Each structure stands twice: as structure tokens, then as C-alpha cells.
Amino acid sequence: MKCPFCGSVHDQVLDSRSIEHTSAVKRRRECFNCKKRYTTFERPEKATLMVVKSDNRREPFELKKVLGGVNRSCRKRSISAETMDKIVSEIENEIMGEYVMEVPSSIIGEKILEKLWDIDLVAYIRFASVYRKFGDIDTFMKELKKLKKEHTKRQKTRVCSY
């Protein structure tokens, strides 16, 4: 730790306590050089979990992608935002608990399916029918967007043609 007063890196930890409900640690330190005291807050760096996709490319795990997939599958179903949030954080907890460095994208998909199965069969079937065919969330999302675009285009054409 670098002393905020003189910049010396030699210090002594006087007191160390963890902050409740977080993984952060508060430390009271004294500088060996100038003898001044200061407090530091340290929190462990969360390692970025990488998702291994079906083509072996890797990308950082993003919760919003999981939420996006769940959201779309649950569209127009009577599923509250709270329930969707709950599913997503359950999936996050499970994945963070079971995988440290890398997680196959197929595992994430399977977990989403598991959760949807418990709450809404229509949402499950929606996710399964597209997801199983494409094997990962990215392709699934791209395909959904394409379908949506085509649908909008078709509607526009209908409006314009007579």
C-alpha cells in the first residue's frame, strides 16, 4: 500500500476488519516512514468469467444477455419483472458458484431452460425451440432480431401494397 502522505510503500497494518455483507476489508495502516495513519478499503477483484461459445470463441459473461433471452421468451406471458430478475440472479449465482474461469454457453442455455420450465411452459418452449436449434444465446438473439425485422418489414409491405 502506498502512503497517501509521503508515498512510501512500507507500512504496518494496525487493524483489519471486514465490512458486513460485503467481501471488502477495511484496514487501518501506519506508515513506517512518516508515521502517519490512514485507512484503506480493499475489495477482491472479481475475475471475469468467460463464456465459451459453440464455435470456441470466448467473450465475457454478461448478465444482460441472459436477461434479454429470458425477457424475450416471456413476452406477453403473465410473468412479472421480479420473477424474471429472480431467475436471472439465480442463474448468475449458480454459474458463479460452479465455474471460475470459463463456462460453456450451452450450460447457460440449459440453466435458462431449467428455470423457465418451472415458471411458464410457453416461455420454455419459445426459448427451447430457438435456442436448441442454434446452440448458443448469441445466435439465438441474432435470429430473434432477424425474425422481428422480417416481421416488421412484412407489416410495412402490407401497409404499402394495395
Query: What's the CA gap between 74 and 116, in Å, rounded?
Result: 9
Q: How far is the CB of 69 from Zn ion (least distance, A)?
A: 52
Q: Which is nearer to Zn ion, 34 or 63 (CB)?
A: 34
Query: What's the CA gap between 50 and 60, in Å, rounded?
Result: 4
Q: Which is nearer to Zn ion, 3 or 116 (CB)?
A: 3
**Which residues of this chain interact with Zn ion, rule CB under 5 A?**
3, 5-6, 8, 31, 33-34
Neighbours of 75 (CB within 10 A): 10
Q: How far is the CB of 1 from Zn ion (least distance, A)?
A: 10
Q: Which is nearer to Zn ion, 31 or 74 (CB)?
A: 31
Q: Which is nearer to Zn ion, 18 or 33 (CB)?
A: 33
Query: What's the CA gap between 31 and 29, in Å, rounded?
Result: 7
Q: How far is the CB of 8 from Zn ion (least distance, A)?
A: 5
Q: How far is the CB of 36 from Zn ion (least distance, A)?
A: 5
- Which residues share a beta bridge with 60? 50
Give the Cα-Cα-Cα angle 80, 144, 79 (nearest 5 degrees): 10
